[in-house]
Amino acid sequence: MRNSHNITITESDTFSTDDETTWSLPGAVVGFVAWLLALGIPCLMYGPNTLFFFIYTWPFFLALLPVAIVAGIALHSLMNGRLFLSMTSTLLTVGLMFGALFMWLLG
């Protein structure tokens, strides 16, 4: 015979779910826009000759696209859906990633 107790669930013991969700679409859009802006900053700083630099190094910068999108989603969810704060932190994070990669490739 089993040595167990009967478990009764009353209405006060029901499981409550948190209905607040942070959607990932705004974070993904912010990450993509931050990636586009970071891609344009070297062109604004160094002029149109930057495109010749991008011809040989485009796989590195293209590899940062999913990283920027995931960073946007992660920062948006960590900031509890506050769009202005997550936009600022995503722009700063993606800009720093691009800057580090650009300076590493320049030597």
Distance of CA 8 to the CA centre of its chain: 44
Q: Each residue of 50-90: pLDDT tens digit?
A: 888 888 889 999 999 999 999 999 999 999 888 899 999 99
pTM summary value: 0.75
Q: Each residue of 32-43: pLDDT tens digit?
A: 999 999 998 888
Distance of CA 102 to the CA centre of its chain: 19
Q: Which of 103, 105, 107, 99 is nearest to 34 (CA)?
A: 99
